Structure 1
Amino acid sequence: MRRPQIILAGVTAVILAVVGLVVVRLTHDEPTTSGANPSGTARATTVARNDVERLTQRYELVDLTRPDRTEVHRRADGAVVATLTVGARTVVLAGPQRRFTEPSSTSAVIDSTSWVRLAPRPWQPRRHLDEEVAGWLLDQLEDRDPPIDILAASTQYLTDAPDGYNEDRVRYIGDAGFGYVHSADERDGADFYDYLEIPWKFTDSGRVKPSKRWDRDLDCSGYIRLIYGYRFGIPLLNEPVTTTVDALPRTASSMAAYARSVLVAAGRNASEPPARLSAVQPGDLVFFALHDDPTLITHSGIYLGKDQNGGMRFVSSRGTIDGPTFGDVRGDGVIDSGYFGQRLRRVIRL
């Protein structure tokens, strides 16, 4: 009678041993999440502990040069979804396609998937990636309903653009006129606070009042200050500067020379246009010498992107159209040929 008991005990022990091995194997091999390596075989990954790990799990950061920059590639399909330039706050992200038109002054059409935003601080090589920047970048990359960006904001001041008001009842968008008188120091014109019709307190000069002369007007640098400064937060200065500053100075010439930025393109000397514009990207600031002195920068704008004919379109506040435009009134609104192309002197990235 003992043999069946012995056999039953042996079978039970074998079953328990097998179950134990299975449990041990599952405990050892089971990942929290799973993925695939480049060869296509399954591999185990761990749950990201923070935004830096989440970013690097979902995206590959690829460093490039000329200029020094980092492309962000989505691991799922390899698509380039963002470009960050070392030393610049400007970030270009891939987003939904939209169309920019200005039928009152040009037949040009710009179909763009570039969305331009400002990072919390200038990008540094990815070894310095931290939680603040990683979290910000993840938010931008994965926002399914992105807010207005720099490019779209810059078109809110074209001819017949509708008015818009903020929570303080300040009319901060809408058709802007052009306000400027050529002077020796390039300062006699309509700044952003003139357009807004509100006083402004600068850190370097104190409180200033808007000029009734320039009611709802903007000169070229005032327009850039309205977009990058008032709308998107880059600090603004009012007094002349003679050294590099983490802010936007008042004039086009001082902006080109002293705003902390990355140089994207410039001529071999101060009187020539850049020979190559291949590194220019939407959101870059472009500067021109439009008066008698071919070395004196007197005009500025924002690069929007290529139109349907491949022309490199920029938007700026101009007297020929009485306000912001990317049109072709008295000079094609492109930087790679024609009137403005010959007078382009410098391209920078904030």
Structure 2
Amino acid sequence: MTRSRKVLACATAVAVAVVALIVVWAVRDDSPAGPAAGPSDSTRAASTRNKVERLTQRYELVDLDGPERTEVRRRGDGAVVATLTVGARTVVVAGPQRRFTEPAATSAVVESTSWVRIAPRPWQPRPGLDEDLAGWLLDQIEDDSPPVDVLGAAMQYLAAAPDGRNEDGVRHIGDAGFGYVHTTDERDGADFYDYLEIPWKFPDTGRVKPSKRWDRQLDCSGYVRLVYGYRFGLPMLNAPVNTTVAGLPRTAASMAAYARSVLVAAGRTPSQPPAKLSAVQPGDLVFFALHDDPSLITHSGIYIGKDQHGEMRFVSSRSTVDGPSFGDVRGDGVIDSGYFGQRLRRVIRL
């Protein structure tokens, strides 16, 4: 081969290599965005783990007894920002301060920073905090504009509360009356679906229709079921029960005895009030024996916190004020003294 031909062949080879390199670069640069353009599986996993890491970096989880629970404390100042109880779904979260008042029935004022939330499942501490629950808890703790909680919803049925409709057009909030009759011949009361004026399908008895007799009214357990069940999604049953169930039975007595929950306080005997109430926290359910039999639970309510006098207030649907109230009409609305305090029998945490 002549010198000129060798030079030409070499130049051609170089040109081909350059073209090939340009083509490869162009293909890499212009390839459409696909799975590789988004976060990889390892990146997504790291993002998920970051929820646990953020929680444990910012907060300390401290396990306590009486009842078994975990306090979430902010690192730095040690402030308790949430309390989770082993076996319970209700979680108390520290939030903006608010005032509960009911001038028509009491001069009491409850000022509180406790917000009661319903966790996706009961709290069970174990090595390796659950990722989903960690994310849920972070959302609750760090929400500067928290949505309505259990206590806020409970206040939406007091006297003169304005009506409100949900996205389905159901009037689900507003002033509720008291609907219950208890005689030797008849026992009947207004459940949550009677107040809502809608039919409801229960898992144990099927579909039931509201009674026109109890239009916009609630008995005590119907009120608890409206708040915890209809508003916040805890399961509800309709038929009588005689064993522990993962939901809210129909009556106060069966709720106190058979709703899957954590026992917070009870008397030494079924006919005595609890000796200590120091473990009670906002959102707990309280139960009373208001009739002749001192051991028969006939009334239920929701504990909301201490008032300006340090008295422990609860809200329930009562005949004395014709509906939900935490007032003092014919008996102070507190659980640590007076009429209701003497008749308190049991406190549970859902």
Map 1:178-217; keep pairs closer than 5 Å: 178-182=178-182, 188-217=188-217
AA of the residue aligned to 2:206: G
Partner of residue 316, structure 1: 316
Corresponding position of 2:98: 98
- Within a 5 Å distance, the mapping from 1:1-350 to structure 2 comes to 49-127=49-127, 129-182=129-182, 188-350=188-350
Structure 1 CA distance for aligned equivalents of residues 243 and 187 of structure 2: 18
> What code does the residue aligned with 1:323 have?
G
TM-score when scaled to structure 1? 0.85
| Matched residue SS, 1:188 | strand
| In 1, Cα distance between equivalents of 2:97 and 2:228 | 22
Q: Which amino acid is 1:161 matched to?
A: A
Contact conserved, 1:313 with 1:326, CA < 8 A, in 2?
A: yes
Name the amino acid aligned to 1:292.
D
Unaligned runs of 5+ in 2: 1-45
Offset from partner CA, 1:256-296 (integer Å, 9 cap, x none): 00000000000000000000000000000000000000000
3-state SS of paired residue (2:156): coil
CA distance, structure 2, for counterparts of residue 51 and residue 298 of structure 1: 44
Contact 1:90/1:349 (8 A) holds in 2? yes
Residue segments in structure 1 that go unaligned for 5+ positions in a row: 1-45
Tell me the distance in 1 between the aligned counterparts of 2:341 and 2:223: 20
**Distance across 2 between alignment mates of 1:209 and 1:185:** 23
Q: CA RMSD in A?
A: 1.6
TM-score, normalization by structure 2: 0.85
Could you tell me which amino acid in structure 2 is paired with residue 141 of structure 1? I
Deviation at 1:49, TM superposition (A): 3.6
Whether the aligned pair in 2 keeps the contact of 1:187 and 1:250 (CA below 8 Å) is no
Q: Is the 8 A contact 1:186 1:251 kept in 2?
A: no
1:192-211 CA-to-partner distances (Å, cap 9, x unmatched) read 00000000000100000000
Question: 1:128: Cα distance to partner?
Answer: 5.5
Instruction: Give the distance between the partners of 1:206 and 1:218, measured in 2 at CA.
Output: 21
Query: Partner amino acid for 1:332?
Result: D
Give the 3 Å change call, closer, same or farther, for CA 192–224 of structure 1 in structure 2: same
Is the 8 Å Cα contact of residues 48 and 54 (structure 1) preserved in structure 2?
Answer: no
Give CA deviations for 1:300-331 in whole Å, capped at 9, x if unaligned. 00000000001100000000000000000000
Distance change in 2, residues 1:276/1:326 (3 Å) = same
Question: Is the 8 Å Cα contact of residues 87 and 261 (structure 2) preserved in structure 1?
Answer: yes
Paired residue type of 2:164: G
Residue 168 of structure 1, CA deviation: 1.3
Counterparts of 1:301 and 1:180 in 2: how far apart (Å)? 15
- Residue 185 of structure 1 and its aligned partner are, at CA, apart by 11
User: What stretches of structure 1 move > 6 A for 4+ residues in a row?
Assistant: none
Larger Rg: 2
Distance 2:185 2:254 in 1: 10
Query: CA 1:184 to 1:257, structure 2 compared with 1: closer, same or farther past 3 Å?
Result: farther
CA distance in 2, matches of 1:111, 1:60: 26
Q: Secondary structure at the match of 2:229?
A: helix
Contact 1:82 1:91 survives alignment (8 Å): yes
Show CA shifts across 1:18-74 (max 9, x none): xxxxxxxxxxxxxxxxxxxxxxxxxxxx99843222211111000100111000011
